[in-house]
């Protein structure tokens, strides 16, 4: 393992929950940003598709 000596500095009982917790927080922040800054993503989660919602004007 390339980074095996990190566990001599940080205990695995502390480091692993911090690592997994930080990944979870980052994932939640990304989902929140996508949900709050787009119009199509909340519609997608509610089961609507872009083909049904979009209106095409000809002419």
- Mean pLDDT per block of 10 residues along the chain (59 residues) reads 79 92 97 87 74 55
**Which sequence spans correspond to the domains of the chain?**
20-53
Buried-exposed string 15-34: b where 16+ CB fall within 10 A, e elsewhere: eeeeeeeeeeeeeeeeeeee
Residues 6+ apart with CB under 8 A from 50: 40, 43, 44
pTM exceeds 0.75 for this model: no
- In terms of phi and psi (left: phi > 0; alpha: psi -120 to 50; beta: otherwise), the region of 57 is beta
């Amino acid at each position: 393992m390339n980074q095996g000596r990190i566990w001599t500095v940080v205990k695995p009982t502390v480091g692993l929950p911090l690592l997994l917790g930080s990944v979870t927080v980052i994932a939640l922040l990304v989902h929140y940003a996508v949900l709050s800054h787009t119009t199509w993503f909340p519609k997608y989660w509610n089961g609507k598709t872009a083909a049904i919602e979009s209106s095409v004007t000809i002419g």
